[in-house]
Amino acid sequence: MSLAFLIHRLVQLIVVTFVIALTVFAVLRLTPGDPVELMMGRDEAVTQADIDRKRRALGLDRPLHVQFIAFVGGLVTGDLGMSLVQQRPVATLLRDRLPATIELAVAAMIVSFVIGIPVGVVAALKQNSAVDRLIMSLNFVGLSLPSFWQGIMLILLFGVVLGWLPSLGRISFDLVPARITGLYTVDALLTLDGRALQSALAHLVLPALTAGTAYAAIIARVVRSSMLEVMRQDYIRTAWSKGLRPRRIVFGHALRNALIPMITIAGLEAGSLLSGSVVIETVFSWPGLGRMVVQSIQGRDYALVQGAVVLLCVLYVMISLVVDVAYSIVDPRVRW
């Protein structure tokens, strides 16, 4: 990987972040609704003078270009400002909520790959059979069902009817482990807290299954297609002619090369889960970043929305860079 490529991606990150920051800043200001009026309410005791005083205190009376320059300056120094509604530093709020979103995203990715890869391999090996058609039909169903409906059905079945799994929150309130990383499963392991680990994993199962189902269907389709393509290659036919065991051919030769496209899928899935888990977090009362962004948009919390969106933008671009680096390592033909 060349230095020019890394410089190009760094410049790209800066440009994309600036454009996203400008877009979010403009959209929030053009959206109807005054954050100060929402904060102070419409009580008769609240006068226009009170509203104007609060607006000046928050700096919202300044010209828009001055507000934007201050926002960009804060980004450069790492100061994302204060939440208008919660009156806490935006960076602190993001730090508190981001681990929950990361934990759910990682768990959902594990579920999707554990389910999707074996199912895709079986479908490829049983091409055009009843098993293949059944798998493809189930994939279609998995892609078609809305995630909120899946989540509600899982809650009703495993949380209400069977009572096997908790359906709301991240962990039992009395079992929260000492904060080290903010990831409850990791913190429970680091502090050797078995009860906290058990509770965190139990709370993670249903949202991870819900979030990972659609991606499992996508992965299964991609693996099936990639496996079929690889199995037609000359080196696979050579392996068959040499009398190698089918297990070695499939898992030692074909699957290893068929999984290369999974690098891209993993990057896209990670970015999508980090920025698009709002529905899952809402259904399961998961205190993640997406749910907080929706609430802050409803409350016109400019600073919090801007900080969260910029953070997600930076994470998405960084994930894209990691995918490019991984591709160049796995496939020597790829050079950046």
What pLDDT score does 40 carry? 65
- Residue in the structure block whose two tokens are 């993670």: 204
Q: How many CB atoms lie within 10 A of CB 255?
A: 19
Q: What is the CB neighbour count within 10 angstroms for residue 330?
A: 14
In sequence order, the 6+-apart residues with CB closer than 8 A to the CB of 242 are none
Give which of 110, 282, 100 is closest to 186, Cα–Cα: 100
What is the rounded distance in angstroms from the CA atom of residue 305 to the CA atom of residue 297?
A: 6
**Residue 110: per-residue pLDDT:** 92
> Which two tokens mark 250?
């499939």
> 102-136 burial string, b = 16+ CB within 10 Å, else e?
bbbbbbbbebbbebbbebbbbbbbeeeeeebeebb
Q: What is the pLDDT of residue 301?
A: 81
Of the candidates 119, 327, 108, 100, the one whose C-alpha atom is nearest the C-alpha of residue 215 is: 108
pLDDT at 332: 62
pTM, rounded to two decimals: 0.81
Ranges of the chain whose pLDDT falls below 50: none
Distance CA 134, CA 20 (A): 43
Are 177 and 193 spatial neighbours (Cβ–Cβ below 8 Å)? Answer: yes
As its CATH architecture, domain 90-330 has Orthogonal Bundle (1.10)
- Phi/psi at 82 (nearest 5 deg)? -110, 140
